[in-house]
Structure 1
Amino acid sequence: MYALQTKDLVSNGDFGHDDTLFGLIADDIYQQGYSIRHNALPDSLVQALTIQQQAIPSIKFKEAGIGRDNLYAKNEFVRTDEICWITGETEAGQRWLNWATALQVFLNRRLFLGLFSFESHFAHYGPGNYYKRHVDAFKGEANRVLSIVVYLNSGWALHNGGELVLYKSDTDKEGVKVTPLQGTIVAFLSEEFPHEVLPAKRDRYSIAGWFRVNTSNKDKVDPPV
């Protein structure tokens, strides 16, 4: 995991003019707990990330699982996608992490969320792959506070499927469907919104990330090094 700190910010033209977008995201989260912004990620960053993800050798991806560290386990009943963590070792990866840092700083300033670090990975869903309804953080176990998803799919059509369905409560059966169009940003409070990814009919590419708070104590370091 890559822990983002304010000192990691650099001026590279991908942000610095994003306060308007960040303000819209912050307002959405304050008013309804989630934000859906289409064609919002800077195009140059979208293109760089798309090129990087599709250039990653398949051996670098691993089957996604449930849980982390000693509790990690693969569960094909729940999810069948594959992931590759973003560490900032490439220019595109570092630009993405810098952009996320800028958003983190803005949201902390505007909403006082206390976001401390960030982790994210590329996600690839092959045709028919899915991620069944789940939450990113359980209530009372505050680590992941805010989830963010960015889509990298050009020319995506409605009949391709693969929508993210964001449920507004545990009892919501309909949800809000988000087509995974290139450049779309979705952010939501991790504890509050169950969600799922419906099967797609073509390869589906995205980035999933989580802003975390610091829950370290004398017995553990969180986030883990």
Structure 2
Amino acid sequence: MKNEQQSLLHAIDELSQNGYYIWDDFLSPKEVEELILAIQKENDSGEFKKAGIGKQSLFQLDKSVRGDFIKWLDRSTEHVSVQNFLDRIEKIKSSLNEFCYLGLKDFETHFAIYPENTFYKKHVDRFQKNAHRVISFVLYLNQNWQEKDGGELAIYLKNNTHIVQPISGRLILFRSEIEHEVLMSYKKRYSITGWMLDKDMSLTFLP
């Protein structure tokens, strides 16, 4: 518990200074395996949908921009592994509010599968007409990942580009206004992607 608290404080410090933080071994191999089983079960049941770009009236499908398939997650899930992950994210959100006064109210998240030879071109997560995403996060679920498999996350900072390998159990947190992209994945790529919001998800009438 002490090590986790220290990692959390370090994450907050790095987010404040650099805009992103890479948290290795956020989940154990066993926890990752349980989430992989959950994602495969949902996929086998036909629960995944082709992901689009934009929100609300601006939403569109464009495989030339992104090629992933997603399944949204919430507390009604039957998977204990997902519930445990959501609890961990809630704790991070609460700590960010406590130490950084970000006013985070909620978060949204989904499973993501990138089939072979797919990608997501450079973009930002904080929409101009729906600017409620504050902190983005990605948990990687790729066992035995090798460099030739691709699927890295490129983060475009002001003075340099940082390439994040999608290693199993790794969590990355970054500010949602930072440009980033998922590079070509040459092997099926699993992750959980989400965003911490400055509005309550139940207030769907808000833009």
Unaligned runs of 5+ in 1: 1-14
Deviations 1:168-221 (A, max 9, x none): 03xx6x611111000111111101x100011111110001000000289x9x63
Identity of aligned residues (%): 35
The whole-number CA distance in structure 1 between the counterparts of 2:195 and 2:134 is: 7
Paired position in structure 2 for 1:136 = 125
> Is 1:79 aligned to residue 63 of structure 2?
no
* Whole-Å separation in 1 of the counterparts to 2:3 and 2:91: 11
Residue equivalent to 2:197: 212
Moved more, 43-52 or 196-205: 43-52
Q: Which range is displaced more, 83-92 or 181-190? A: 83-92
The structure carrying a bigger strand percent of its residues is 2
Rounded Cα–Cα distance in structure 2 between residues aligned with 1:57 and 1:26: 34
Assess if the C-alpha contact under 8 Å between 2:140 and 2:191 holds in 1: yes
Q: Deviations over 1:31-76 (max 9, x none)?
A: 1111112222344432321221122134211000012233321011
| 161 and 148 in structure 1: CA distance in 2 versus 1, 3 angstrom threshold | same
Q: Is the 8 A contact 1:21 1:40 kept in 2?
A: no
Q: CA deviation at 1:17?
A: 6.3
Partners of 1:68 and 1:140 lie apart in 2 by: 8
Of 82-91 and 159-168, more deviation after overlay is shown by: 82-91
Opposite residue 187 of structure 2, the aligned amino acid is R
* Separation in structure 1 between the aligned mates of residue 53 and residue 63 of structure 2, nearest angstrom: 10
Q: After the TM superposition, which residues 45-84 of structure 1 pair with which residues of structure 2 at under 5 Å, given as runs?
A: 45-58=31-44, 59-84=46-71
Q: Does the alignment pair 1:181 with 2:181?
A: no
| Counterpart for residue 110 of structure 1 | 99
Q: Distance in 1 between matches of 2:120 and 2:57?
A: 21
Contact 1:142-1:215 at 8 Å conserved across structures: no
Say if 2:31 is the partner of 1:31. Answer: no
1:122 to 103, 108, 111: 111
CA distance in 2: counterparts of 1:75 and 1:124, whole angstroms? 16
The answer as to whether partners of 2:111 and 2:193 remain within 8 angstroms in 1 is yes
